[in-house]
Structure 1
Amino acid sequence: MTALHDWPATALLAAYQKQELSPVDVMQSVIAHVERWEPQLCATYLYRPEAALAQARASEARWHQGAPAGLLDGLPVTIKENIATRGDPLPAGTAAVTLVPAAADAPPAARLREAHAICFSKTTMPDYGMLSSGLSSFHPLARNPWDLSKGPGGSSAGGGAAAAAGYGPLHIGTDIGGSLRLPASWCGIYSLKPSLGRIPIDPPYQGRAAGPMTRTVDDSALMMQVLSAPDVRDSMSLPPQDIAWRTVATTGADFIKGKRIGLLLDAGCGLPLQPEVRAAIEQAAALLESAGAQITPMQPFMTPAMLDGMDRFWRMRSLTDLQALSSAQRDKVLPYIRTWAESAEGMSGNAVFQASQQFHQVRLATVKACSAFDFVISPVAPHVAFAAEWPSPTNDPLRPLEHIGFTVPFNMSEQPAASINCGYTAAGLPIGLQIAGARFDDLGVLQLSRAFEQIRGPQKPWPLPPG
């Protein structure tokens, strides 16, 4: 039998409804599994098993009375460390931050609590979320459950590792350039970066989004029913909309028929595409075409100047943040981050302005390139998981963003984009397919993801803890 910690959320809810399972049994299974894995993975922060069991017992009583209090009642969930939870500090992954309890739940955490999910742990991230890695000056080094010598990606590092390892079915992370999709790709899970404002977040920032991290598309659609409620704290929050999230569960492969899908195999910038990644994406495109999609190869629309401009602007923003710290605090920041940010010293006002304009140029180019298609597919990243100890795939602070050419355009264009596993390397490392849709078509991205999930073929068993 499948262990309870491996059950999808949709199946758990059905079992709760029939009183075939108890949230207490599920939470106990998750806790036992976390304790087997966590010494190796280091994915959790503020892990609270006893409080989780108390929540599970309360949920069990509600289900026995036939009166669940919310859509996610009794389902285990983790929350990325930078999403505020009331009373808990937000280290932002770095030892340089003064730990101050948050005054209130940020919108995603508030929605999960209102739905009575069991929020049993936060998950780890790298310093300031500025790495695609689990390397942090505050948290222990996070690792990838598929291969402990590799990292899980980032900055939603702990969330990706936790989902792949089976720390329950539901996890939430954030993404400003690929921080949901990169760990999803490298950990073999599913994640949706929604349209900007679809899931309110506090504080909001250009391109920043929160999103689900799950093993199945259905579970992400379930989370979207809860997370997509508007919140006034996010100035970019979208207005209320009745979206048929529930239809994702009944979406079949026939959804693919007639869809116009662009195939992007060249990001136009950054690292070259690894042959095994290319082969997996081409195979995914062939599967979609055989199911009735119209696949059209695309020319790259990003340029090195666009990526470099965004990089330079983010360096200056981070330098400004570092300069606000005391010298003792700055000394605690990862040297890689400091070297990267301090390289912006001496930038002129004109140079900063020109760098800032590249965000809009990326937006214009992305929207134009995608306008001829219903969806665009591509690699999530040009390569698979890399050494856990490395801050970035290049291990070079002056070439830090060479891997986000496929992901960052959809942050700037505000379009929804997902990562779904589409294959493995000869060494067994997962490879993610990115599915991007038109702005606001989050439901369509989930539906195409669900359809692809049904035609992609058998998946490797999820990794098990050592020993």
Structure 2
Amino acid sequence: MSTTATALHELGAAELVAGYRRGTFSPVEVAQAVLGHIERWEPHLRALYLLRPEKVLEQARASQARWRRAQPLGPIDGVPVTIKDNIATQGDPTPLGTAAVPLLPAAADAPPAARVRESGGMVIAKTTMPDYGMLSSGLSSFHKLARNPWDLRKTPGGSSAGAGAAAAAGYGPLHIGTDIGGSLRLPAGWCGIFTLKPSLGRIPIDPPYMGRAAGPMTRTVADAALFMQVLARPDARDSMSLPPQDIAWDRFDAGPDKLKGLRIGLLLEAGCGLAVEPEVQRAVEAAARLFERAGASITPMKPFMTQAMLDGMDHFWRMRSHVDMKALPPETRARVLPYIRHWADSAEGMGGEAVFRAFSQFHATRVAAVAACNAYDYVISPVSPVPAFDAHLPSPTNDPLRPLEHIGFTVPFNMSEQPAASVNCGYTGSGLPIGLQIAGRRFDDLGVLQVARAWELVRGPQRPWPVPPSEALQHVD
């Protein structure tokens, strides 16, 4: 075997498939390498839920047999995959990150999980998330606290917390998260990985919800493009899914020439929430200069979000959660994180008119985002105004009455249904990654991947991925 077992967990999905096809190594060897790597990292990161090595090896042996017969099930047969807690997998409980949900086995795989199984993907584990996915951190009343592999004192972000940490730490190449206001892009930005929040409905999901999307979380654009071939297949359970479309995901790499002549808007102020920290702004401005050198036209944009839009969405989500929690028995409700309970309970006094006005801000955000982006082919911005914050905090403000002050750049593209990616564009003085958001017009998912790939080619060398701490180091609790 020309590739050593210790390096197998570092290989991308296409490299693994090529190796299986040549017989250079097997899915069983890859499974063993990934499980060994997880064993060194996981006591520090706490990124996984339902890690069952024997089930992983059982899948690996079945994949190995298929490859020996030259009959792989699909483009990711034998490739390690993790799936977020809130994406149902048949027979497994779906706790949604909270101790308040009964641990009942799911009746069926949700669409993204079903597509993975149909294509032979090797499910390593589920990944952790905060209570109900309502935090941008790894804090949970059910899962252990997830941490950022770049700095164990920091959060990986959320709500796809474990997925972001797992991708950065090298728990295999493919990970699936979800996003309703930034839950793919925030952990991707803070963990230095790549993600695509696709156009609404591009990847079917169940249950569907306004603005909710599933997406790939990977170290590279190439792996995300390969994964899109699998995840974007149709599923009738999603009433909001797009019609099936034969998209040439394999043409994700158009090279730096993709940037020539593009009209790119540069958004450096969200118009609401926290101010952009200087290190973040400098990194995004430097990225814009590289885009310009590559032939794109860069135009500064005025902010189009308002605090009223952000507050309206926040207040409506509070009421939704308040109604859900009010239906719980008192002893069950008490298990929810106090921060989430306080946030939801603050909506108790809202009347019908206030709820309607709050809900109307979703449409106002959609209209404003589409109008602001109309003059450009793509829009670049920070993913977050701040780098990764303390792991123990539920949000950057640590204030349940100001919980969403960091999502002003991400949430509008959920409501406008536009594809938006996060890709690393630099590091803080302390070595934390800084995410660049690339948003495209609705349905231009492939174009966003191509621009992100062009950025990978022009951005220069990246820092090495984090490695597990020394076993002599005390585990952080």
Shorter-chain TM-score: which interval? over 0.9
2:275 paired with 1:267: no
| Residues 57-68 of structure 1: pairs in structure 2 closer than 5 A | 57-68=61-72
1:57 CA displacement: 1.2
* Distance in 1 (alpha carbons) for counterparts of 2:370 and 2:178: 22
| Residues 40-439 of structure 1: pairs in structure 2 closer than 5 A | 40-248=44-252, 250-439=253-442
1:15 CA displacement: 1.2
1:230 CA displacement: 1.2
* Distance in 1 (alpha carbons) for counterparts of 2:399 and 2:101: 24
Query: Which secondary structure does the structure 2 equivalent of 1:3 belong to?
Result: helix
1:60 CA displacement: 1.2
Query: Which secondary structure does the structure 2 equivalent of 1:435 belong to?
Result: strand
* Distance in 1 (alpha carbons) for counterparts of 2:133 and 2:172: 23
Letter in 1 for 2:399: D
For residues 307-349 of structure 1, what are the alpha-carbon distances to aligned partners after superposition, in whole Å with 9 as ceiling and x for unaligned?
Answer: 0000000000000011010000111000000010000111110
Letter in 2 for 1:381: S
2:31 paired with 1:13: no
* Distance in 1 (alpha carbons) for counterparts of 2:383 and 2:395: 15
Gaps of 5+ in 2: 471-477
For residues 325-383 of structure 1, what are the alpha-carbon distances to aligned partners after superposition, in whole Å with 9 as ceiling and x for unaligned?
Answer: 00001110000000100001111100000000000000000000000000000000001
Letter in 2 for 1:234: D
TM-score by length of 1: 0.99
**2:455 aligned to which of 442, 452, 460:** 452
1:69 CA displacement: 1.7
* Distance in 1 (alpha carbons) for counterparts of 2:383 and 2:299: 18
Query: Which secondary structure does the structure 2 equivalent of 1:251 belong to?
Result: coil
Letter in 1 for 2:444: D
Letter in 1 for 2:264: I
Letter in 2 for 1:432: G
Query: Which secondary structure does the structure 2 equivalent of 1:289 belong to?
Result: helix
Query: Which stretches of structure 1, 4 residues or more, deviate above 4 A after TM superposition?
Result: none
Instruction: Give the aligned partner of residue 7 of structure 2.
Output: 3
CA RMSD of superposed structures (Å): 0.7
Letter in 2 for 1:431: I
**2:29 aligned to which of 15, 25, 50:** 25
Identity %, equivalent residues: 72
For residues 237-260 of structure 1, what are the alpha-carbon distances to aligned partners after superposition, in whole Å with 9 as ceiling and x for unaligned?
Answer: 111111010011x32001100011
2:45 paired with 1:37: no
1:17 CA displacement: 1.3
* Distance in 2 (alpha carbons) for counterparts of 1:177 and 1:449: 20
For residues 171-197 of structure 1, what are the alpha-carbon distances to aligned partners after superposition, in whole Å with 9 as ceiling and x for unaligned?
Answer: 000000000000000000000000000
For residues 131-186 of structure 1, what are the alpha-carbon distances to aligned partners after superposition, in whole Å with 9 as ceiling and x for unaligned?
Answer: 00000000000000000000100000000000000000000000000000000000
TM-score by length of 2: 0.97
Letter in 2 for 1:442: D
Point out the more displaced range, 6-15 or 191-200. Answer: 6-15
Query: Which secondary structure does the structure 2 equivalent of 1:364 belong to?
Result: helix
1:464 CA displacement: 0.5
For residues 280-312 of structure 1, what are the alpha-carbon distances to aligned partners after superposition, in whole Å with 9 as ceiling and x for unaligned?
Answer: 000110000000001000000000000000000
1:14 CA displacement: 1.2
Instruction: Give the aligned partner of residue 474 of structure 2.
Output: none
1:49 CA displacement: 1.1
For residues 416-449 of structure 1, what are the alpha-carbon distances to aligned partners after superposition, in whole Å with 9 as ceiling and x for unaligned?
Answer: 0000000001100000000000000000000000
* Distance in 2 (alpha carbons) for counterparts of 1:357 and 1:68: 48
Letter in 1 for 2:374: S
Point out the more displaced range, 307-316 or 61-70. Answer: 61-70
Query: Which secondary structure does the structure 1 equivalent of 2:87 belong to?
Result: coil
1:10 CA displacement: 1.1
Query: Which secondary structure does the structure 2 equivalent of 1:121 belong to?
Result: strand
1:107 CA displacement: 0.3
Instruction: Give the aligned partner of residue 473 of structure 2.
Output: none
* Distance in 2 (alpha carbons) for counterparts of 1:91 and 1:388: 21
* Distance in 2 (alpha carbons) for counterparts of 1:167 and 1:49: 13
For residues 74-101 of structure 1, what are the alpha-carbon distances to aligned partners after superposition, in whole Å with 9 as ceiling and x for unaligned?
Answer: 0000000000000111111000111111
